[in-house]
A and B are shown apart, each in its own frame.
Chain A
Amino acid sequence: MYEFEYRKPASLDQAVAMLDEDAKILAGGQSLLPTMKMRLASPGALVDLAAIPGLSGITVAGNTVEIGAMTRHAEVAASKEVAEAIPALADLAGKIGDRQVRNRGTIGGSLANNDPAADYPAAVLGLGATVHTNKRAIAADDFFQGLFETALGEDEIITKVSFPLPEAAAYEKFVQPASRFALVGVFVARTGSGVRVAVTGAGPGVFRATALETALGGSFTPAALDNVEIAADGLNNDLHGSAEYRAHLVTVLAKRAVAAAR
């Protein structure tokens, strides 16, 4: 690891002030620290959000589940409130990485990183959630902008994510066997304003499978997807799965998610 300066702000304003050009935000550190250890990232400073009050916690109110940016995956996975309100979300959180990662990793960190094989982006996009920052609220459809890219500005810090309750939802994950990231993960949600299908792992970033959404909009049943295929063009093609295989898995997993949705 290269040298860096460690900064630990006590408030969001302080954090913003500390975020100079060369600095990076440290949330759970479960992606950032391994990258730094491999010397693939060399920020001049880390701004640790751990001491800022109010960034962590889960609130279920009315038709919304709100999760603070520094809330650990393990907390979401174990939350009875989340499990009752959006069981698919608790289930997804429990499938991230391994238990040690879930004990440290945070939702804000995961979203800001936007790894193309991460799980949370599928839930956020699949549920049409809103990402709140110190500056604004960003709709999921606008937030994710491809491989490790998001709508976040340089001095913008995620504070919380609000998830609208769906009528039914489920997440199906087929793991890349070595890393345990999603080779393909499909989040399906039936909401008041239509069906949303978000796919992670398969492409250069999380995306909505519109062909599947249209088919499921007609009939929210696995059979509705029987002859619906998504194109392999532009999907990831690596050691663990060809684009064609990934495309195939999207439909298979979407069907299973529809069958499991509640």
Chain B
Amino acid sequence: MPTVTMTVNGKQVSADIDPRTLLADFIRVNLDLTGTHIGCDTSQCGACTILVNGDAVKSCTMLAVQADGAEVTTIEGLAENGEMHPMQAAFKEHHGLQCGFCTPGMVMSAIDLVKRHPNPDEATIREELDGNICRCTGYHNIVKAVKAAADATGG
């Protein structure tokens, strides 16, 4: 069994794992960080999106061994000192979530979006969120939240 070592939410973790362990399962099962969700089996829905070395990736479409040595951030790692990340706060303020299941992936994706497009317009936000499916909100308030978070972080 290969050994993987990575930094997850600032903490170094290491484990011997079956190579077919998906990064999503490693996070959920080995690390018990269940905020990262699995919503499909064809790498489409984006619920499992996390940041690997700062980039949004679908953790269901990456092997844990591929993240060896990487810096991983999950939804649990965003808040600092009990304060929500501006993107989390914007989702709450603008009602960008309902059932909450797609939300962690959506938030992680939105953080990457704003990193790449610090001042996105509505069309850009909509295009750049096409890797995340939400069934509840119709995206209206998600778009508003992302825009507000971009504005708030000085985009």
CB atoms of A and B under 8 A apart anywhere in the complex? yes
A contact set with B: CB distance below 8 Å: 1-6, 8, 26, 29-30, 33-34, 36-38, 46, 48, 50, 74, 78, 97-101, 103-104, 179-180
Answer whether A97 and B2 are a contact pair too, CB < 8 Å, given A29-B66, A33-B61: no
The docked-state distance in angstroms from the alpha carbon of A4 to that of B46 is 25
The docked-state distance in angstroms from the alpha carbon of A103 to that of B55 is 7
The docked-state distance in angstroms from the alpha carbon of A50 to that of B69 is 12
Which residues of the other chain, B, contact A38 by a CB distance below 8 angstroms?
41-42
Which residues of the other chain, A, contact B76 by a CB distance below 8 angstroms?
none
B18 touches A99 (CB 8 A): no
Our pick among A34, A37, A46 for the contact of B19 (Cβ within 8 Å) is: A46
A98 touches B130 (CB 8 A): yes
B35 CB–A CB distance under 8 Å: no
B72 CB–A CB distance under 8 Å: no
The docked-state distance in angstroms from the alpha carbon of A6 to that of B64 is 11
The 4 closest A-B pairs by CB, nearest first: A98-B131, A6-B19, A103-B55, A34-B43
B71 CB–A CB distance under 8 Å: no
| A–B pairs, 12, beta carbons within 8 Å | A3-B18, A3-B20, A4-B19, A5-B19, A50-B66, A99-B109, A99-B113, A99-B116, A101-B58, A101-B131, A103-B55, A104-B58
B56 touches A30 (CB 8 A): no
For residue B44, which residue of chain A has the nearest CB? A179
Number of residue pairs A-B, CB distance < 8 angstroms:
79
Which residues of the other chain, A, contact B89 by a CB distance below 8 angstroms?
none
A104 touches B63 (CB 8 A): no
Chain B's interface size range is 20 to 34
Contact flags (1/0) for B12-37 with A, using CB distance below 8 Å? 00000011101000000000000000
A30 touches B61 (CB 8 A): yes
B6 CB–A CB distance under 8 Å: no
A103 touches B20 (CB 8 A): no
For residue B60, which residue of chain A has the nearest CB? A37
B145 CB–A CB distance under 8 Å: no
Which residues of the other chain, A, contact B56 by a CB distance below 8 angstroms?
99-100, 103
B62 touches A104 (CB 8 A): yes
The docked-state distance in angstroms from the alpha carbon of A170 to that of B86 is 38
Which residues of the other chain, B, contact A3 by a CB distance below 8 angstroms?
18, 20
B57 CB–A CB distance under 8 Å: yes
For residue B50, which residue of chain A has the nearest CB? A100
The docked-state distance in angstroms from the alpha carbon of A186 to that of B89 is 42
Which residues of the other chain, B, contact A34 by a CB distance below 8 angstroms?
42-43, 61
B20 touches A1 (CB 8 A): yes
A104 touches B46 (CB 8 A): no
For residue A94, which residue of chain B has the nearest CB? B127
A100 touches B19 (CB 8 A): no
Which residues of the other chain, B, contact A2 by a CB distance below 8 angstroms?
20
For residue B51, which residue of chain A has the nearest CB? A103
Which residues of the other chain, B, contact A98 by a CB distance below 8 angstroms?
46, 130-132
Which residues of the other chain, A, contact B109 by a CB distance below 8 angstroms?
99-100
For residue B59, which residue of chain A has the nearest CB? A100
The docked-state distance in angstroms from the alpha carbon of A50 to that of B114 is 27
Answer whether A97 and B63 are a contact pair too, CB < 8 Å, given A34-B43, A37-B41, A38-B41: no
In angstroms, how far is the closest chain B Cβ from the Cβ of A92?
15
Mark out the residues of chain B between 103 and 139 whose CB falls within 8 Å of any chain A CB in the assembled complex: 109, 112-113, 116, 128, 130-132
Which residues of the other chain, A, contact B128 by a CB distance below 8 angstroms?
99
